Amino acid sequence: MAEHRRGRSIPGDRSSARDRRHHQSHYQGRRVADRPRPRYGRIVAFTGAFLVTVVAIAAGAGLLPSGPAATAQDGGSPDSPAQTLEQSESDPLVATSMLSAAVTPTKASGVLEAVPETAIDAEAAPLDSGAGRRVVFDQSQQRVWLVDADEQVERSYPVSGSVLDNLEPGSYNVYSKSRWATGINDSGVMEYFVRFTRGANAAIGFHTIPTKNGVPLQTKKQLGTPLSHGCIRQDMADAIALWEFAPIGTSVVVIA
């Protein structure tokens, strides 16, 4: 052991000091490795990708809501058939339209399916439409039947009657025919006009879809819907058929 005597150090003491200095200088010259730091960007990206994968798997397995059910849960309110019908009761026309396409559940899955409208019997003339050779116009169905003397329907087709309540149900007779005609107030040009009664301002009859400046006032697909302002509009082929079927004096029966 080194001993201190009279304020002087023993040589062994100096050796220890040199060793300490050498040790410090040795380590000071070496580079110490940095401590590892977490890479937060990669961690966040990995976590996000993992969550997206989990959600996709859960949705595919049916564990998450989707479609209309999800919309309702999110605060939406898709109308059910019952709600739609109830809302339409204030408007008879809308209610009638909705009732014709009412929905019923199937026995197997409970899925709602539309019930088709009652088919129009084009092979037989409507009941209470008279007898003998006649033209029958049903205002509610917007349809015409050409019935021969043997009660056989020669032709039946959709038409577009008046949006006005200007034609009373009853029996009439054809009293005039015109190959060409012009509507009042230059409202359009008509062909194969077969008149059977008179309205407040003009004659009422069957004719083709009017054209104005060569443009039809409605499409063929719109036949079956009231769109005229007095007469009954027909497709060209049907108008020609009625023109040939109904000479002057032919009975015309209008039913509601």
Residue 8 inside a domain? The answer is: no
Mean pLDDT of 88-112: 33
Kindly write down the DSSP assignment for every residue of 216-247, as one continuous string: ESS-GGGTTS--BSSSEEE-HHHHHHHHHH--
pLDDT at 142 over 70: yes
Residue 228 inside a domain? The answer is: yes
**Tokens 């559940």 belong to residue:** 105
Which of 130, 135, 97, 85 is closest to 238 using CA atoms?
A: 135
Looking at the structure, tell me whether residues 141 and 246 fall in a common domain: yes
- Number of structural domains the chain divides into: 3
Helical axes 81-88 vs 92-100, angle rounded to 10°: 150
pTM for the full predicted model? 0.54
Q: Give the model confidence (pLDDT) of 94-105 as tens digits.
A: 333 333 333 333
DSSP, res 186: G
Looking at the structure, tell me whether residues 102 and 190 fall in a common domain: no
Residue 16 inside a domain? The answer is: no
Which of 209, 210, 176 is closest to 194 using CA atoms?
A: 176
- Domain of residue 218 covers 134-255
Looking at the structure, tell me whether residues 106 and 170 fall in a common domain: no
Instruction: Check residue 82 and give its pLDDT.
Output: 33
Looking at the structure, tell me whether residues 94 and 60 fall in a common domain: no
Looking at the structure, tell me whether residues 97 and 162 fall in a common domain: no
Looking at the structure, tell me whether residues 144 and 249 fall in a common domain: yes
Answer with the one of 30, 62, 78 that is the final residue of a domain: 78
Residue 174 inside a domain? The answer is: yes
Looking at the structure, tell me whether residues 100 and 169 fall in a common domain: no
Residue 9 inside a domain? The answer is: no
Residue 196 inside a domain? The answer is: yes
CATH number of residue 170's parent domain: 2.40.440.10
Q: Give the model confidence (pLDDT) of 36-77 as tens digits.
A: 555 555 565 566 666 656 555 555 555 544 443 333 333 333
Looking at the structure, tell me whether residues 209 and 231 fall in a common domain: yes
Residue 91 inside a domain? The answer is: yes
Looking at the structure, tell me whether residues 138 and 250 fall in a common domain: yes
